[in-house]
Structure 1
Amino acid sequence: MNWHRITEKFDLYIKLTRLDKPIGILLLLWPTLWAVWLSAAGRPELAVVVVFVLGTVLMRSAGCVINDYADRDFDKHVERTKERPLTAGRVTSREALALFAVLCLLSFALVLALGKPLVIALSVPAVFLAASYPFTKRFFAIPQAYLGIAFGFGIPMAYAAHLDSVPAVAWWLLLANVFWAVAYDTEYAMVDRNDDLKIGIKTSAITFGRFDVLAVMLCYAATLAILAGVGMHLQLGFAYYAGLVVSAGIMGLHYTWIRGRERMACFKAFLHNNYVGMALFAGIVLDRLFR
């Protein structure tokens, strides 16, 4: 058995699934955890927490694999992505599709372990959204909105896991996540705008054009407004709104970084959205903890 070859292949799979770059996991995990805590009134079942955390890691990894598969011919023309394992030919298309299937099956096994029929039913559109998102960049002017739905579908699933139903508040949380995803992924798209224009991929940064910074800030504002409405509907307290205020401050900081449209500053703002999600989650946890 060639252990060097096995180790090398494992390292390539880690890079293909982006497990070496956990920011995507965190951006997907925070809104899922918002819903897990809110749907359980601050006392989530341990099994639900474990399933949704592991499921988030698996499905984000699966999403990265299918994204690279869909973009394998485009990525070779982009400096930042041309050395990705699939694009560089170090992982085959067949291997990538097999890995995607395995990750999806493992995620589905977790869902089955919960034994919740509605969660199982919702897992079908969740996989479809994750698998189809990369292809929306061919025709959809703002694919980041589709990404927000795909990244946020753990929200209705979390409510289904605890309540065996999906109330309206879950869909409002999902909508907030859509606006947030458009904001942070537009910042990310601003980094690659010139390359994306050359290869013909559609992104929100291209669609918004010179109004890109304004669009990001309006999406941030919409996110906060919807989450404030959720807080009022659920009669949440001071800690929750403190989390919103901290998040608003972080978003304001992002404006100072992206207004010059410098690539690395925009990328820094994208990465920094982890703290937006964290602040909101901390507000939820603290609100429920001290009630």
Structure 2
Amino acid sequence: MAGPQFPERAPGTPDLADMRPDDWVARWLPSSWGPYARLCRLDRPVGTWLTLLPCLAALVQAADGWPTLFRLFIFSLGALLMRGIGCCFNDIFDRDIDQKVERTRFRPLTSGQLSLKNALWFVLAQLAVCALLLFALNEYSRWLAVALVPIVIVYPLCKRFTYWPQVVLGIGFNWGMLMAWSDTQNVVPPGAIAMWLGAVLWQVGYDSIYAYVDVRDDIKLGLRSTALRFADKGKIWISGFYVATVALWLYGGMSMGMDWPYYVVMAVIAGHFIWQMSVFSLSRPDRNFMLFRANMAVGVLLVAAALAGTVLQ
């Protein structure tokens, strides 16, 4: 039986390469620092925001209002570092594969800007800083942080043996939501778990949109992703994940006793998801990349919902 047919990229599709020679890293950082900044994706902060914003929402809900500035600093730095560490491991494991993918061929390890030895030392340095952050957390949260490390390491390998690497990514990169509760309340209640599960499914949805950008390269290289699993039914699958996300966030809000403004913002988020699915197209990788980035707005709205449901009570 023939496999699913994916349309060719539309004419005029812009270059979606990860590395750009005219970004702020090239303009503002010393040339010797550039490969390290790009290895941990400092030049592409969207992923950091998508990691941090759900965590900030959880901090607000756990504090039942404004979290302390110290806790905001610790969790913000932790999100930046863990996202960077995840990207480093991804590039280390995929350095040979990235040579064969149009979008990733200029990454530091693939293009020879950085040696594997230096990349490993850089990862160890980031892990050392994360280890220092553990002293700012309670014991419960320290154990959760330790449990996160293998998830971050194994994620880049998942696309070699499962069509669901995005699930592992969602689990790991939203882990800070659970830690926000454990550190603030020393407990992770059912409502917090529902919010975290909703964020996991949200990430499966928007990262599947992103996966369609690389689908043809993945087929050639024998890699797997949710985009290949969903094939031409991507809109149905992703819509289902978005519906489940809203349902879990509604349950989480009710479980925590969020006030009515929380649900108003949730309605806006639902509307944003509807808009995404109306724009999503298998044949337009440039449009799908735009939709991936547009999920930063969902993260901001999630923080706004948490504030609306607590501060405005």
TM-score tier by shorter-chain length is: over 0.9
Q: Does 1:279 align with 2:279?
A: no
Equivalence map 1:161-200=2 (5 Å): 161-200=183-222
User: For the Cα contact (< 8 Å) 2:190–2:255, is it kept in 1?
Assistant: no
Distance 2:180 2:229 in 1: 33
Letter in 2 for 1:151: F
Q: 1:159 aligns with which of 168, 177, 181?
A: 181
Deviation at 1:46, TM superposition (A): 2.2
Cα deviation, residue 260, structure 1: 4.9
1:1-291 equivalence runs, <5 A:
7-114=30-137, 116-291=138-313
Moved more, 93-102 or 69-78: 93-102
Q: CA RMSD in A?
A: 1.3
Alignment-mate amino acid for residue 48 of structure 1: R
Structure-2 separation of matches of 1:287 and 1:220: 21
Q: Post-superposition shift, 1:165?
A: 2.1
Report the secondary structure of 2:30's partner residue: helix
Tell me, in whole angstroms, the C-alpha distance in 2 between the residues paired with 1:167 and 1:261. 42
- Measured against aligned partners, the alpha-carbon deviations of 1:1-46 in whole angstroms (never above 9, x if no partner) come to xxxxx92220111111111110000110111112111111113222
Contact 2:281 2:287 in 1 (8 A): no
Between the two structures, name the one with larger relative contact order (CA 8 Å, sep ≥ 6): 2
Question: What do the CA deviations read for 1:249-275 (whole angstroms, capped 9, x no partner)?
Answer: 111111122135311111111110000
**Identical aligned residues as a percent:** 34
Distance in 1 between residues matched to 2:188 and 2:122, nearest whole Å: 31
Q: Deviations over 1:91-143 (max 9, x none)?
A: 111111111111122112112123x1111111111111111111111112111
* TM-score of the aligned structures, taking structure 1 as reference length: 0.95
Contact 1:239 1:284 in 2 (8 A): no
- 208-217 or 184-193: which moved more? 208-217
* TM-score, L = length of structure 2: 0.88
Cα deviations by residue, 1:52-105 (Å, 9 ceiling, x for unpaired) = 011101111111111111111111000110010111111111111111111122
Q: Quote the Cα distance in structure 1 between the aligned partners of 2:196 and 2:117.
A: 33
User: C-alpha displacement at 1:206, in angstroms?
Assistant: 0.3
Q: Secondary structure at the match of 2:111?
A: coil
Between Structure 1 and Structure 2, the one with more helix by share is 1
AA aligned opposite 2:66: R
User: 1:252 corresponds to which letter in structure 2?
Assistant: I
Could you tell me which amino acid in structure 2 is paired with residue 172 of structure 1? A
Unmatched tracts of structure 1, length 5 or more: 1-5
Query: For residue 3 of structure 1, what is the aligned residue in structure 2?
Result: none
- Kindly provide the CA deviation profile for residues 221-279 of structure 1, in whole angstroms up to 9, marking residues without a partner as x: 10000001111111212221121111111111111221353111111111100001111
Which has the larger displacement, 249-258 or 140-149?
A: 249-258
Q: 1:47, CA displacement in angstroms?
A: 1.7
Relative distance call for 1:169 and 1:287 in structure 2 (3 A) is closer
